[in-house]
Amino acid sequence: MKRSVVGLLAVTALAAPVGSRVWAQTRVPWIHVRVEEPRNDSKVSVNLPLSVAQAALNLAPEKVLSDGRMHLGHAGKGLSATDVRRMWGELRASGDAEIVSVEDKNETVKIARLGDRIRIRVESPERNESVSIEMPVGAVDALLSGEGESLNLRAAFGELQKLRGEVVKVDDKDTKVRIWIDEGN
Amino acid sequence: MLIKIGAALAAVPMSLLALVAATGVLVVDVREGGPAGHHFVVPVPLALAEVASAFVPPDKAHVDLGDARQYLPAADDVLKALAEAPDGELVRVDQRDEKVRIAKVGPDLVIAVTSPGEDVSVTVPISLARTVLGDLEDGQVTPRSLVAALREARMTTLADVRQGEQHVRVTVW
């Protein structure tokens, strides 16, 4: 009897790490969107497993998105996807650096590459606004892997599966928006 | 002899009860507020509802979705992904006195809306929603398949609505 109890405990102890590893593997990435409007006493949180968000992409109207590709068409006024793709190709090769820095009396825009991340910061002290976007280089590559005037959102989502942490943060005097990815609800 | 007759007579309602229990019952429970408020409990055996639903004229079940029909497969993909996803709170909206919560709990989507004097909670089994979408692809909702899908939702409170002193609850047993 004692031997069988010891045997059972040994099997349980051996199985525990395997079980926890399986549990860790089944943790899925969740995308979280938090929007707060203190003036309206309003808070909205959306938490979706990325797999669900990816499936929901197909619900977008076909003229905007088809086969996981977003068509800019004339919506991308001024800057076409082809222009962005060409610029990105040049910027990508520059390595870690502040790629763009525009400062005027109302607004500061900074785009920098830090390792495998692209960081975009827009500050507007006059309007009490700040926008921060952080994207992995791979996600931008994937996003721009579409052809012509299309962005490949599906491929970008695939890259986001690997990302953890804050992706977008917007603070202005009326609204706060945060988008981040982690493995918990 | 009397015992045998009694046992034979009791066997009929007991068999019916067992049949109803085995095939499921939809119970609508309505409580009205106030001292003179009524309390109705309407049990509907699902087997009976399924038979009755077969008599619904096809034209009454027809739903014209127009262009929305093309999104049904994508909507089904979303539900499939949701069904496979872990449980958790999906949406939370707090605006002044109103609160909305949508969560995935096991095989169900639970939607709760709270506002002053009113609490509404709706449980939508994902399998039921997928059945409806599947039916809609054919251009009509088949009441019979809906009732059949309710069998998958047994032991679930589908709707719980409190408004003031009134309380309505719809449960599948």
> Model confidence over B100-155: pLDDT tens digits?
999 999 999 999 999 998 999 999 999 889 888 888 877 777 788 888 888 878 88
> Helix, strand, coil: what percent of chain A each, to 5?
35, 35, 25
Given a contact cutoff of 8 angstroms between Cβ atoms, the answer to whether B83 and B125 are in contact is: no
Question: Which residues on chain A place their C-beta less than 8 Å from a C-beta of chain B?
Answer: 26, 28, 30, 40-49, 51-52, 54-56, 58-59, 62, 185
Q: B15 lies in a domain?
A: no
Q: B12 lies in a domain?
A: no
Residue A170 has which token pair?
């917007």
Minimal CA separation from A21 to chain B, in Å:
17
Q: What residues of chain B lie within 8 A of the CB of A26, using their CB?
A: 86
User: What is the Cα–Cα distance from A47 to B86, expressed in whole angstroms?
Assistant: 12
Q: B87 lies in a domain?
A: yes
Encode pLDDT of A5-14 as tens digits.
445 444 444 4
Given a contact cutoff of 8 angstroms between Cβ atoms, the answer to whether A70 and A51 are in contact is: no
Q: Do B93 and A54 touch (CB under 8 A)?
A: no
Beta partners for residue B29, in sequence order: B41, B169
Minimal CA separation from B29 to chain A, in Å:
33
Q: B113 lies in a domain?
A: yes
Given a contact cutoff of 8 angstroms between Cβ atoms, the answer to whether A35 and A28 are in contact is: no
Question: How many Å is the Cα radius of gyration of chain B?
Answer: 20
Q: What residues of chain B lie within 8 A of the CB of A43, using their CB?
A: 92-95
Q: What percent of chain A has pLDDT over 70?
A: 76
Tell which wins on pLDDT, A128 or B168.
B168
Token pair 């004339």: residue: A74
Q: Do B85 and A52 touch (CB under 8 A)?
A: yes
Q: How many domains does chain B have?
A: 1
Q: Do B88 and A30 touch (CB under 8 A)?
A: yes
Closest residue in A to B78 (Cα–Cα): A55
pLDDT at B105: 94
pLDDT at B84: 93
- Which structural domain, as residue segments, surrounds residue B29? 24-172
pLDDT at B122: 95
* DSSP summary character for residue B86: P
Encode pLDDT of A71-88 as tens digits.
665 544 556 778 788 888
Closest CA to A88 of A163, A131, A151: A151
Given a contact cutoff of 8 angstroms between Cβ atoms, the answer to whether A160 and A123 are in contact is: no
Q: B10 lies in a domain?
A: no
Residue A134 has which token pair?
């952080």
Given a contact cutoff of 8 angstroms between Cβ atoms, the answer to whether A63 and A75 are in contact is: no
CA distances from A162 to A45, B65, B90, B163 (A): 22, 38, 21, 46
Q: What residues of chain B lie within 8 A of the CB of A32, using their CB?
A: none
